[in-house]
A and B are shown apart, each in its own frame.
Chain A
Amino acid sequence: MAEDKSTQNGRDARADIRAEGLRRDIDENLKRVFEASLDPEIPDRFKDLLAQLKARGGGQ
């Protein structure tokens, strides 16, 4: 019985490790895709908007 339990525990531990590895891979993929999607160029509409807000002075 003790053997069965330890086998079960071993299986659970291996499953946990696999799940953890999968989680890490998924998150790493998300990081890579998000990074790849960043466009460092700021569109003029946002540059203009910030300039207008600054020109108005501080807050609204």
Chain B
Amino acid sequence: MTGPDPRTEDPRTDPRDELASHIPALRAFAISLTRNVTEADDLVQETILKAWGNFDKFLLGSNLRAWLFTILRNTFYSARRKTRREVPDPDGLHAGTLVTHPAHDGRLAMADFTRAFDQLSAEHREVLILVGANGYSYEEAAAMMGVATGTAKSRANRARARLCELLGLAEGETVLIPSSSAGAAAPGMGPGPGPQAA
């Protein structure tokens, strides 16, 4: 589903042939950043073009997905700096208060979780997708984001704390969403039925 494990890729294969298998993950990452399906696919297209033109710079045997994710996030921030559509907000200071109403009946619904996730700043969404969802180490995520390892770690911790705050999670509440609901709509993190406006 997620394509080949980037850590076990055969270094002898041409990475260009592997590119297609990373497109689902690239699209999901792009949607997490842009929160808009159309914009996300434009971002993925630009990422593919840049990657294709720079494969001579890709170190064979290294992590192709991490390399592609890095190109994608750099492209995203570079475009955002140009258009200034969103102010960099690594601490989610301007993200405002949650408008969701988590119905805590002892379990956390996926819809509540994704809605809260969408309220995070782009930097917080990014670090959680890299470290939390994709399991990259703080070192790897830091390299991808172009920051120090300590910065990646503290950013991830602040992002998790902000997410809990947005979810209105109190101590002792169950925070694990039921895995059976994993097939439900995931508004901000996947190519759902329609564009997700910011």
Chain A interfacial positions (CB closer than 8 Å to B): 18, 22-23, 25-40, 42-43, 45-47, 49-50, 53-54, 58-60
Contacts and interface: CB of A to CB of B under 8 A. Distances in A.
Contacts of A36: 110, 182-184, 186, 189-190
A26 B160 contact: yes
Contacts of B192: 37
Given A34-B134, A46-B45, A50-B20, A39 B27 contact: yes
A27 B32 CA distance: 15
B190 A38 contact: yes
A17 B191 CA distance: 35
Given A37-B28, A53-B16, 5 more contacts: A28-B176, A32-B177, A32-B179, A34-B32, A42-B20
Nearest to A32: B182
A42 B45 CA distance: 12
Given A26-B163, A59-B53, A38 B1 contact: yes
A49 B189 contact: no
Nearest 6 interchain pairs by C-beta: A37-B190, A34-B133, A30-B132, A27-B132, A30-B133, A60-B53
Given A39-B27, A40-B24, A29 B41 contact: no
B79 to A, nearest CB: 18
B129 interface: yes
Chain B interface size range: 35 or more
A45 B41 contact: yes
B41 A33 contact: no
- Interface on chain A toward B: helix, strand, loop, or mixed SS? helix
Contacts, number: 117
A33 B31 contact: no
B133 A31 contact: yes
A38 B132 contact: no
Contacts of B16: 53-54, 58
B189 A34 contact: yes
B85 to A, nearest CB: 23
18 contacts: A18-B171, A22-B160, A22-B175, A25-B175, A26-B128, A26-B164, A29-B175, A33-B113, A33-B177, A34-B32, A34-B134, A36-B182, A36-B186, A39-B191, A43-B41, A46-B48, A49-B49, A54-B16
A59 B131 CA distance: 31
Interface string B72-109: 00000000000000000000000000000000000010
